[in-house]
Amino acid sequence: MTDNAGNHASTGPLLDRADERVKHEAGVGGALRAFLDRVRSGDLGSLPVIVGLIIIWTVFQSLNPVFLSANNLVNLLFDCSTVGVIALGVVCVLMVGEIDLSVGSVSGFSSALVGVLWVNQGWPVVLAIVAALIVGALIGGLYSFLFNRFGMPSFVSTLAGLLAVLGLQLYLLGSTGSINLPYGSPLVNFGQMLVMPYWVSYALAALAGLVIFLAGYRTAMRRKEAGLSSQSLASLVLRAVVLIVILEFLAFYMNTDRGVPWMFGLFVGLVIAMHYAMTRTKWGRSLNAVGGNREAARRAGINVRRVYASAFVLCSTLAAAGGIMAAARLASASQQAGTGDVNLNAIAAAVIGGTSLFGGRGSAYSALLGIIVIQSIASGLTLLDLSSSLRYMITGAVLAIAVIVDSLARRSRVSHGRA
């Protein structure tokens, strides 16, 4: 069988390269040309965010040299993780073309719940966290029930949820208004201090490149055997080496200060797991399909209701997780937790990162990139000692620019037949 396929590959044209009307690029240079072609036709991917991030960093660094110091960046990573996890959940609901406006309230409520159960009621901390996550999942389950049974638009149901859950949070915290989490406890240490040992950060950076290379190599070999076009070994190696060099440098730079926070490690781990689930599993395919064309997905035998339910439940659960991480970061569960800009930052992060508001287009990495943009702006403006009024205005402008870039890119994709 293998022999046969090999012969086929060496004699005839490759199975997916038989149509001579289509131009195919080969090798490292070809991959680069194909990338430029894609960008020109409006398939921008993460490019606008990365360019935007470079501009933002350059501006803030020139205004205040502390901005890119290792110390500030480590703080940035701590701050990213909490809202980032919430944004990751928002990506899920945006993928199916819905929205969850209550993520901020749910995060605040879950932090309050952990505070009450753990500190006031004396539950073991793990049990309190699990309970908060389950309650988060139940809230998402309620939204999906309202959506699937009554056709209630998620915009309305989660708006109602925003108020109701905020009320629950205030009720739980009662008259005292806030609960301090004990310093020195593992949860608070995790949120404020715990960083990876140097060797772990270096090892993880190397592992990431290695896994990327091995997965790519395995796919390339299988495709070659089957008579399909495959990536060249050189481009695979190049990609892995570039990734390793970048990650090792970042790890080294963070390690000149405190190091890479475990909390950020958890966030990135969740992003990678979500990316795998969204691109390599049947569930992720269904998520994309429902977001792209609900009726087509239904006729293809996908249980559309279950897909919606999974998106809402995941979003609320991740919002609850983000809330617990935020409580750990601040060492308190307060009435202010999850209010203010948490909600909008989480949604804005997903959108700035490149997830479409209309469903069917997006990636888990958009949460990571988007939240880094937003936290960079916040951190830069804090360093410049500017008030939050400016911070809101600038974040709003960046969000508007991100959506404009997305709309323009979409128009270009349509005219290039890639929409």
Partner 1 sequence: MAEIAKETAREHEAVLSLRGVSKNFGAVSALTDIDLDVHAGEVVALVGDNGAGKSTLVKVLAGVHQPTSGTITFKGKPVTLSDPSAALGLGIATVFQDLALCENLDVVANIFLGRELEPLRLDEVSMEIRAWTLLNELSARIPSVREPVASLSGGQRQTVAIARSLLLDPKVILLDEPTAALGVAQTAEVLDLIERVRDRGLGVVMISHNMEDVRAVADRIVVLRLGRNNGIFYPDASNQELVSAITGASDNSVSRRAGRRRAMQQNSEEARP
Give the binding site for partner 1 (CB under 8 A).
15-16, 18-19, 21-22, 219, 222-223, 226-228, 280-283, 285-286, 288-289, 291-293, 295-297, 299-302, 360-361, 413-414, 416-419
Name the minimum Å distance from CB 417 to partner 1. 4
Q: Which is nearer to partner 1, 256 or 299 (CB)?
A: 299
φ/ψ (deg, to 5) at 180: -85, 130
Decide: helix, strand or coil at residue 18. Answer: coil
* Amino acid identity for residue 317 in this structure: T
Q: Which is nearer to partner 1, 3 or 295 (CB)?
A: 295
Name the minimum Å distance from CB 79 to partner 1. 33
Q: Which is nearer to partner 1, 245 or 280 (CB)?
A: 280
Name the minimum Å distance from CB 143 to partner 1. 24
Name the minimum Å distance from CB 69 to partner 1. 42
Diameter over CA atoms, the chain = 79
Q: Are 46 and 353 in contact (CB under 8 A)?
A: yes
Q: Using CA atoms, how far apart are residues 390 and 256, in angstroms rounded to an integer?
A: 32
Write out the two tokens for 332: 């308190």
Q: Which long-range contacts (CB under 8 A, 24 or more apart) does 245-253 make?
A: 247/204, 247/205, 247/206, 247/208, 247/209, 248/202, 248/205, 248/206, 250/205, 251/198, 251/201, 251/202, 251/204, 251/205, 252/202, 253/70, 253/73
Q: Which is nearer to partner 1, 294 or 329 (CB)?
A: 294
Q: Which is nearer to partner 1, 38 or 258 (CB)?
A: 38
Name the minimum Å distance from CB 412 to partner 1. 13
Name the minimum Å distance from CB 275 to partner 1. 13
Q: Which is nearer to partner 1, 56 or 287 (CB)?
A: 287
